Structure 1
């Protein structure tokens, strides 16, 4: 089932349940997907492109969450946490630390990296493999750990 179809079904269910929070997040995701398809000049996005949009939306909310927490805006923190939880339902299963570490080690061997100066080469090779399945900051930490 495509993401748009799933979103449409979930939107209908949220309307029936009068779940305004979920409904607003689903509408926002659908709008973002529509904007991306217009930007790319396509009628349908690939699964990878849909994942990119979802990841971008999730990252924006996580960044905002940190800002609101540091500013003491608990009202907005609660709202964003709800949005993040809804968005994460549509994301692929996240990799465990062990799985991520194995991918990092494998990629370092594939690229022949040996020092921090090879960081860009390793990150460029890893990110397509873990797209949507791991946070970029976490990947960065594992790569730094193994390039020392």
Structure 2
């Protein structure tokens, strides 16, 4: 009985807090990444159009975003870069599934996975990221600055500085891409 009362009281309290701070809350479009807003709008559009395959892919992407927020430790999606990481992991999963279905000679499932992979790639392409040339240029500019500041030149410091510069430019880049390019440049 005590547990039920506690749940009821906490729900009442949370509703009051929502009502109290609803006017002071910032606009949702300012807080959520643009790609997430696009995904939510496409979800509604595909529901109305009854496009089941696209709808299932968008639902899966949104489920992964929600799962990331509830993971341990929590990693809520704050930018398009976070969504891009999720989309890249989904691409890898689809490619593995395609290979598995090809070895099992299930062409129907291969076709299904490939069409879902194309939809995921379409969303991933909406995130403006640095090109390879721009990334190499940023890394090559960062290394002399690190040496000037007498900071140890290693992959971690390069990733940190290049990520910060890319964020200032408004063109995110994945840390794994920076690390791979930095290893090549440092090996020269």
Output the CA distance in 2 between the equivalents of 1:69 and 1:5. 29
2:186 maps to: 147
Match for residue 56 of structure 2 among 24, 30, 34: 24
- Give me the whole-angstrom Cα distance separating, in 2, the residues matched to 1:31 and 1:94: 24
Q: Distance in 1 between matches of 2:137 and 2:67?
A: 36
| 1:95-141 deviation line (CA, Å, top 9, x unaligned) | 2222111111122223229xxx7223323433455578445554333
In the alignment, does 2:34 pair up with 1:34? no
Structure 2 equivalent of residue 94 of structure 1: 129
Which one of 78, 87, 92 corresponds to residue 58 of structure 1?
87
The answer to whether the 8 A contact 1:25-1:87 is kept is no
Give the Cα separation in 2 of the matches to 1:109 and 1:30. 41
**Over alpha carbons, which structure has the higher Rg?**
2
What is the TM-score with the length of structure 1 in the denominator? 0.67
- The gaps in structure 1 that reach 5 residues or longer are none
User: Tell me, what secondary structure is at the counterpart of 2:129?
Assistant: coil
Spell out, residue by residue over 1:27-46, the C-alpha distance to the aligned partner (whole angstroms, 9 max, x if none): 1222233333445899xx56
Tell me, in whole angstroms, the C-alpha distance in 1 between the residues paired with 2:97 and 2:175.
21
Q: TM-score, normalised to structure 2's length?
A: 0.55
Instruction: Please state how far the C-alpha of 1:65 moved relative to its aligned partner.
Output: 4.2
| Distance (whole Å) between structure 1 residues aligned to residue 73 and residue 185 of structure 2 | 41
Write out aligned runs for 1:123-142 (5 A): 123-127=159-163, 129-130=165-166, 133-142=172-181
| Partner-residue secondary structure (3-state), 1:47 | coil
Maintained 8 Å contact 2:39/2:58? yes
Higher RCO (C-alpha under 8 Å, 6+ residues apart): 1
Map Cα deviations across residues 7-38 of structure 1 (whole Å, 9 max, x no partner): 32211111122222221122122223333344
Q: 1:104–1:63: structure 2 CA closer, same or farther, 3 Å change rule?
A: same
Task: Please tell me whether residue 120 in structure 1 is matched to residue 156 in structure 2.
Answer: yes
Q: In 2, are the aligned partners of 1:22 and 1:86 still within 8 Å (CA)?
A: no
> Structure 2, unaligned stretches of length 5 or more?
1-28
